[in-house]
Amino acid sequence: MRQCLSLVALAAALAWSAPAAALPTFAQVRADWRSADVVVLDRHGEPVGRVRDDFHARRGDWVALADTSPALRTAIVLSEDRRFHAHSGVDWQGVAAAAWANLWNTRTRGASTLTMQLAGLLDDDLRRPGAPGQGRSFTQKLGQAAGAAALERGWSKDQILEAYLNLVPFRGELVGLSAMSQVLFGKYPEGLDARESALAVALVRAPNARAAQVASRACGILREMRVPRECDGLEGFAQLALLRTGPVAQRAAAAMPSAGPAQLAPHLSRRVVGEARAQLAAGAAMPARIASTLDARLQRAAVTSLDRHLRELAGRNVEDGAVVVIDNASGDVLAYVGSSGALSGAAQVDHAAALRQAGSTLKPFLYAQALEEKRLTAASLLDDRPVNLPVGGGLYVPQNYDHRYAGWVSLRASLAASLNVPAVRTLVMVTPHRFHKRLVALGLPLTEAGDYYGYSLALGSADVSLLALTNAYRALANGGSYAPPRLRQGAPATPAKTVMQPAASYVVADILSDRHARARTFGLDSPLTTRFWSAVKTGTSKDMRDNWCIGWSQHYTVGVWVGNASGASMRDVSGVSGAAPVWHDVMEILHRARASQAPAMPAGVERVALSFDDGLEPARDEVFLAGTAIRRVSVGAPAARPAAPIIATPADGTVFALDPDMPPASQRVWFHAQGVAGQPARAVSWRIDGKPLGRGGEVAWLPWPGRHQVELLDAAGKVVDRIGIEVRGASVRAPVPAARR
């Protein structure tokens, strides 16, 4: 008994003599607090997402006492320190009771006050436990008492309670009230009710106890709070809550945005933090907050529109979607909806970054290239009738979406109405190799060579992401000038480069903004029509697995994708019925208070009156690249011819593989020229590696291993076109004369 009393006296002496400077101030603790998550902000400073960055412990934001549930404040005081508001750091009444209990070896509530526990949390030496099964040492207890006295002299009671709730470990990796509340209950601390508060406080004393033990202790707290009815079903409730702290849940959380209430832009947040992490200098700490280019108000509107329209498509086997909005001038991504959220079975998949089949959305870039190369004009007639194209594996037979054919149609009508066969015929002229190079220059992530896709590239057989595709359309909006999009404020800007001619980009924009030209397929009144100037294109991939709507106004480019994460086909959902309504909504929101004017006609473009023979199409004013204009179109008379002959086949960069077991005559390579019909055979000539090869529209060559340069020359001997080819394999043996066989 004498020993116990001496301990009490010593504790009192140490407590009252402890210097107040031994522990940090409340302001220091608050300033040093660091969440385990990086908070991503929108362009106006509003939080739009959180991404886990520290995996040693899960900590949320610091929670002010005023933002804490009253039920939780009551529960923690009743459970851990009944006389918290009366004592000055050390509960001497509790110390005496604990000493008496130790003397008679009986159980007690313990004598550590909330202030003493906080002192231990602030000082590593006081926090470190003693030997297993022995708890803290006597010296540590004395240190806690001294620290508690110092805290009480420098801190207010509210500051002590606030700091304690933010620093106390709850279970597993959960540290602090914010992380515990959001992981266990999916809500912020201010919303915790009596049952949740009691369960949370029960974890303070026994963080790793089983659900039954936690529920039993929580029920005792609820009785002290005088709400015993909340004990009903408490064990099952505890089991569900504690499952969220298990190993499986922790592994899942490590790969997903931070747990808790729904985030506004979780997928963009992951990308932004990933970019910032990749650019950190060695040893540099990740910033606690990162400002994105997102606009939270626009993001909410895009999320709402996508959710509403997908619900309207219920029963058509479609559950996923994504939306991207980019500012044309700056490249800032203003909205980035990566998933349909609760409607999706794969809500964590970022569909704005996922690769999906592009469908008809690549056609504007194909026609722009054909216009640049002066193979076609907007008035050129294209043959929309069935065609069989020989390819390596047989025949490629493209078909229109509605399995109907229009015969002779102008390029304008073909692009605006999204006809397939004319697009494939155009790619035959441009070649898959050249078109592939253009798409890659526009930032589209095509992983294979142009010959791999073949003529189906005209119909979007390549896989692209919504973000990359939307930004490629932004290049059309900017007169052919391409630059990568920007997700983070302050990120270094990449200089823009000219990928398409401004004149060709203008003609494509003029076509895609012409609702009369697209009326053949979409009608005059559809979601593609806006009350302001805009240009837009839809796309649907094979078997209705993906549909797209991408378009731009004077200031913004908006892209929408609708489909299924599983790749399952939708039922009767096209670009105009699936993605277009969302695109229309977002465009209308963007232009409620901002006008959109048609782009000014650039140099190198002229508009002339045009008519068609036999009433093929209505007369109109048409836009042409300088030097290609015509005023009347007739079947059989080309609307425009190349300025000079060109090499039609093979394509630039073609690789030939030789087979030494095949007869040499069967492996000859034929070179074909385009634009020489009706001209004398000697109008063009060929050279290979600087040596004459032959004359005329087509010549044959016996291939030889290596890289070769093929040139086409006009009658004056001037090089008008050149390509590079490569031959691989054993050399072709020359035929053996019959006399030597």
pLDDT per position as a tens digit, 144-199? 788 888 899 999 999 999 999 999 999 988 999 999 998 999 899 999 999 999 99
- pLDDT value of position 2: 45
Question: pLDDT of 242-279, one tens digit each?
Answer: 988 765 455 444 444 444 445 899 999 999 999 998 88
- Cα separation, 148 vs 232, in Å, equals 38
At residue 673 the predicted structure's pLDDT band, cuts being 50, 70 and 90, is confident
Query: Cβ of 129: how many Cβ atoms within 10 Å?
Result: 12
At residue 206 the predicted structure's pLDDT band, cuts being 50, 70 and 90, is confident
Please name every residue paired with 709 in a beta bridge, in sequence order, or none if there are none.
Answer: 724
Question: pLDDT of 8-43, one tens digit each?
Answer: 554 555 444 444 446 899 999 999 999 999 999 999
User: What fold characterizes domain 646-740?
Assistant: Immunoglobulin-like (2.60.40)
Q: Are 695 and 671 in contact (CB under 8 A)?
A: no
Percent of the chain whose pLDDT exceeds 90: 59
The letter for the amino acid at 433 is: H
Task: With a cut of 90, say whether residue 644 has pLDDT above it.
Answer: no
Query: Cβ of 521: how many Cβ atoms within 10 Å?
Result: 19
- pLDDT value of position 664: 73
Contacts of 657 (CB under 8 A, 6+ apart): 727, 728, 729
At residue 422 the predicted structure's pLDDT band, cuts being 50, 70 and 90, is very high
N-to-C CA span, the chain: 122
The per-residue pLDDT of the chain, averaged, comes to 86
DSSP conformation letters of 5-45 = HHHHHHHHHHHHHS-GGGS--HHHHHHH---SEEEEE-TTS
Task: With a cut of 80, say whether residue 602 has pLDDT above it.
Answer: yes
Query: Cβ of 653: how many Cβ atoms within 10 Å?
Result: 17
Quote helix, strand, coil % in the chain, to nearest 5: 40, 20, 40
How many angstroms from the chain centroid is the CA of residue 247?
28
Predicted structure pTM score: 0.77
Eight-state DSSP code of residue 381: E
- Cα separation, 367 vs 438, in Å, equals 11
What φ, ψ does residue 641 adopt, rounded to 5°?
A: -120, 155
Percent of the chain whose pLDDT exceeds 70: 85
134-166 burial: b if 16+ Cβ within 10 Å, else e: eebeeebbbbbbbbbbbbbeebeeebbbbbbbb
Question: pLDDT of 97-141, one tens digit each?
Answer: 555 555 445 444 456 889 989 998 987 655 555 444 445 566 767
The label of the residue with tokens 């907050």 reads 289
Per-domain residue ranges of the chain: 2-33+60-251, 359-475+508-552+590-642, 646-740
- Cα separation, 235 vs 216, in Å, equals 8
- Cα separation, 445 vs 210, in Å, equals 50
At residue 390 the predicted structure's pLDDT band, cuts being 50, 70 and 90, is low
How many angstroms from the chain centroid is the CA of residue 1?
70
Handedness of CA 490, 494, 499, 501 (dihedral sign): positive
Q: Which CATH superfamily is domain 2-33+60-251 in?
A: Biosynthetic peptidoglycan transglycosylase-like (1.10.3810.10)
Q: What angle do CA 562, 434, 685 make, to 5 degrees?
A: 155
Asked if the peptide bond before residue 398 counts as cis, ω within 30 degrees of 0, the response is no
Task: With a cut of 90, say whether residue 539 has pLDDT above it.
Answer: yes
The label of the residue with tokens 């608050």 reads 30
- Cα separation, 112 vs 98, in Å, equals 10
Q: 359-475+508-552+590-642 architecture in CATH?
A: 3-Layer(aba) Sandwich (3.40)
Task: With a cut of 60, say whether residue 554 has pLDDT above it.
Answer: yes
Task: With a cut of 50, say whether residue 491 has pLDDT above it.
Answer: yes
Eight-state DSSP code of residue 359: G
Start-end of H helices in 18-137: 26-32, 70-80, 92-104, 114-122, 124-127
Across 59-63, 89-93, 138-142, which has the greatest mean pLDDT?
59-63
- pLDDT value of position 729: 74
Task: With a cut of 50, say whether residue 321 has pLDDT above it.
Answer: yes
Question: pLDDT of 339-356, one tens digit each?
Answer: 999 899 899 999 999 999
- pLDDT value of position 397: 67
